Structure 1
Amino acid sequence: MSKISSEALLAAVVENSDDAIVSKTLDGVVMSWNRGAERLFGWTADEMIGQSIRKLIPDDRQAEEDAIIRQIVAGRQVSSMHSVRVRKTGAPVRVSVTISPIRGADGTIIGASKIARDVGALEHARQQLAESERRFKTLADNISQLAWIADKEGWIFWYNQRWFEYTGTTLKDMEGWGWKAVHHPDHVDRVVERVQRSWDTGELWEDTFPLRGKDGTYRWFLSRARPIHDENGEIFCWFGTNTDVTEQRVQAESIQTLLQEVNHRSKNMLTLIQSLARRSAPGNDEFLKRFVRRLEALAANQDLLVRRAWTVVDLRELVEAQLSFAIGIAGSNLEFDGPDVEIGSRAAETLGMALHELATNALKYGALSAEGGTVRIEWSVAEDRFAIDWHETGGPAVEEPTRVGFGTSVIRDIPRTALDADTTLDFAPDGLRWHFAAPMKAVAGKSV
């Protein structure tokens, strides 16, 4: 293989470069024009050699060429200048240009070499990135929540402006685990333990705790963080927010205080009604006993609903509250079981009174009035319907009463009307049976 001269090798490199490589005299006349220049600008070497380089420069940028020539004559290189040039078609093209002086054998500057690269796509990508960054910053810094981002290990490396405005801190103060400094000392250990569990397991994180503001006071925040996954499903960062819920907590406490006060006054009224009943029906001890028991059932329901802010009640808790007097007498002979179910306040009032009435009757006339008698209570939820059954066994033989009293209305009729329910009261000889079934949405709904 014959040796290739350095001059030939250099010429081959220049000619086959993807970049436009051009040489020109100091007055701007093109002396060489490679294939990269043809591809970038559209003119062939024959069309450009001997022509002025200013042919590529837009009218409003002609002063750039004057500045370039001054720097070249001074022996300085023009490095990575971003500008606009014109293609043969007249279309503009964004280019990155590097220009260096060309020296003769005696060291005199006789011209300049220019390397140009199309950076239109790169500039577009940079503009999109800058716009995306601007939008993100606008959104992140103007939401009402404090926000932050942590790596997959839980090291926090970014906070929004709201965080710094509230805490009066800097990123240097807060980076990593620095956020512990603004947590209340009574809560910080608990918070660290719970959030670390999420970092370790990938579970969503939610917690409520106080954070110290720049004025030194603490406010309560509901805080959440969720993992962000990459295309392979792996966690690569966490995004979290802290929402100020101080006012909501104050309002909730005020409502709870008000409910407790209303409950206290209502129970005082029930006590007054009991006293009036005793004075109005002297000598009717059986009536008074049942009447007082019903008032106590109402009071028990009310206590339970107040503890739950008059929203929803756990059914098991309701059964235990309403039947506590019967459980104390019957012990293990009164059993109940079913799934965890929360019911609305209206259903709690209606079912609570029905269960209380059934238990009272069972102790007086039914299965719990005899040794060995049992009561079994079971409830279930299937296909959006709720059902509860009361089944007595082992008691005296059952006979259907000849008169329908208030107790029967509480057990059978009121649930039908109040909860759109199907109820049956079966006076089977071997033991009373009561069945209640209603749409789950009626049972779970909140009363207005």
Structure 2
Amino acid sequence: MDFSELFIHLPDAIVVVAPEPDFKIITCTNAYLQVTMRKREEIVGLSFILEAFPDPAISYEQNPVRISLVKAIATKQVDYLDVLRYDLPKPETEGGGFEVRYWEASHTPVLDEAGEVKYVIQKTMDVTARELAKQAQRESENKFRFMADAMPQLVFTTDPEGKLTYLNQRWSVYSNISIDKLLATGWQQIIHPEDLPEVEKRGTEAFATKTEMQVELRKRDKEGNYRWHLCRILPMRGEDGNITMWLGSSTDIHDTRLLVQELVTTNEQMALLADQVQIAYQKAEAERKILERFIMEAPAFFCILEGPEHRFELVNAHYQKLFPNRELLHKPVAEALPEVVEQGFVQLLDSVYQTGKSYEAKEILVKLDQHDIGKLDDVYVNFLYQPILDETEKVSGILVFGFEVNEVIKLRKQLQESGRSVNEAAK
């Protein structure tokens, strides 16, 4: 059996080197040539460190491969090399330059019959993919930490069972307690004693049921003041659906909560004020209804005229009795009672509305078409035009109050005709 032929076809990346002083390469497997991108005739017979795979970045004495080889020879035992970066030159046919590579290797001494080291076998493993993945993960973690530290929230993570594994720097800035201490038990010290039992209970339930949790709690800041925070924690799951970690954040909502409380208090005060206004309104409305009832049932004629056009807004029965066949409400005086225009009464109303001064008249003759048949009747009245003022003390309408005195005038005429005065008649 040709053992040399068998050796070069082994699936492992193996190279055999001679002991010191120059560690010349004796042979290697095809797998070794493949991972190192070399040809057999290019490296066999060369010094492993100085010629075949030199590293100009470090001295020969400090080269970790040489150190491991020396140790394996000295101890006559296998020595394992730590992960090492050694970039390989790329062939010109592939564009030249260097390709980043990471390696793990072991050095196994082969002893002769006298027990002396005759060869050293280096078994090499290309771990570039694994190391690059680890680097990518570290970079991702560093980015996460950078972003987490830059966030104004207090960010934290736990393992799947709920054990705290990470706190961003904002925790230390907020509490003035080191991250290491907070990771131990310090985080519990900054939570308000009244809130801690509920927080622990809710957290235990969330981890047990594998559901997100949200809770409001108070946390003590570096000045010793407790501020309200909104704490939320979410489970992160892997491709298999299992929870790989929990991500949490704690947002300061103290000012917002105070504002909400202030709004609630204000709303309560407004509601109380509204109740008081409602009571006042009900009282005023009751008084208004009493006054309206008095006006409507008084043994005299009343009406309320609104605006510069003197529109009828309220007419009691006695006033309507003067015009039993007419619709007065919401009509201007000039339209509803055209016969009084030429008699100057609209002009009197205009004067009261414009000046704000009341006008009173006694035993005035008014010619009215009381039955709406085109025939004017003589009606003697005593009346008062009283201006109505709004909240700005501006005239908004006119109150008309009066009563008929036809019987008085008729009696006076009869007495005059008989030669007696009204006073004498009264005696």
After TM superposition, the score normalised by the length of structure 2 is 0.53
Q: Which moved more, 1:160-169 or 1:244-253?
A: 160-169
Deviations 1:287-320 (A, max 9, x none): 9xxxxxxxxxxxxxxxxxxxxxxxxxxxxxxxxx
Over 3 Å counting, the alpha-carbon distance change for 1:27 and 1:225 in structure 2 is closer
1:169 Cα offset (Å): 4.0
Give the secondary structure class of the aligned counterpart of 2:290: coil
Contact 2:84 2:104 in 1 (8 A): yes
Q: 2:31 is matched with which residue?
A: 36
1:136 Cα offset (Å): 1.6
Q: 2:211 is matched with which residue?
A: 203
Q: 1:233 is matched with which residue?
A: 241
Q: 1:221 is matched with which residue?
A: 229
Deviations 1:179-203 (A, max 9, x none): 4433222222333333333333333
Q: Give the Cα–Cα distance (whole angstroms) in 1 for the partners of residues 105 and 160 of structure 2.
A: 41
* Unpaired runs of at least 5, structure 1: 288-448
Over 3 Å counting, the alpha-carbon distance change for 1:81 and 1:88 in structure 2 is same
Q: Give the Cα–Cα distance (whole angstroms) in 1 for the partners of residues 58 and 181 of structure 2.
A: 51
Give the secondary structure class of the aligned counterpart of 1:282: helix
Determine whether 1:57 maps to 2:31. Answer: no
Q: Give the Cα–Cα distance (whole angstroms) in 1 for the partners of residues 67 and 161 of structure 2.
A: 55
1:116 aligned to which of 104, 120, 124: 124
Determine whether 1:18 maps to 2:26. Answer: no
CA root-mean-square deviation: 4.2
Q: Give the Cα–Cα distance (whole angstroms) in 1 for the partners of residues 276 and 202 of structure 2.
A: 44
Q: Which moved more, 1:183-192 or 1:52-61?
A: 52-61
Q: Give the Cα–Cα distance (whole angstroms) in 2 for the partners of residues 253 and 286 of structure 1.
A: 48
Q: 2:82 is matched with which residue?
A: 80
Give the secondary structure class of the aligned counterpart of 1:144: coil
1:281 Cα offset (Å): 4.3
Q: Give the Cα–Cα distance (whole angstroms) in 1 for the partners of residues 200 and 289 of structure 2.
A: 63
Give the secondary structure class of the aligned counterpart of 1:16: coil
Over 3 Å counting, the alpha-carbon distance change for 1:232 and 1:84 in structure 2 is closer
Over 3 Å counting, the alpha-carbon distance change for 1:140 and 1:13 in structure 2 is farther
Q: Which amino acid aligns with 2:199?
A: V
Instruction: State percent identity of aligned pairs.
Output: 22
Q: Give the Cα–Cα distance (whole angstroms) in 2 for the partners of residues 224 and 209 of structure 1.
A: 11
Q: 2:259 is matched with which residue?
A: 251
Contact 2:169 2:179 in 1 (8 A): no
Q: Give the Cα–Cα distance (whole angstroms) in 2 for the partners of residues 141 and 79 of structure 1.
A: 37
The correspondence of residues 272-311 of structure 1 with structure 2, limited to 5 A, is 272-284=280-292
Over 3 Å counting, the alpha-carbon distance change for 1:29 and 1:226 in structure 2 is closer
Q: Which moved more, 1:194-203 or 1:12-21?
A: 12-21
* Unpaired runs of at least 5, structure 2: 296-427
Alignment: residue pair count: 283
Q: Give the Cα–Cα distance (whole angstroms) in 2 for the partners of residues 204 and 277 of structure 1.
A: 56
1:208 Cα offset (Å): 0.9
Q: 2:189 is matched with which residue?
A: 181
Q: Which amino acid aligns with 1:246?
A: H
1:12 Cα offset (Å): 5.8
Give the secondary structure class of the aligned counterpart of 2:45: coil
Contact 1:80 1:98 in 2 (8 A): no
Q: Give the Cα–Cα distance (whole angstroms) in 2 for the partners of residues 80 and 193 of structure 1.
A: 46
After TM superposition, the score normalised by the length of structure 1 is 0.51
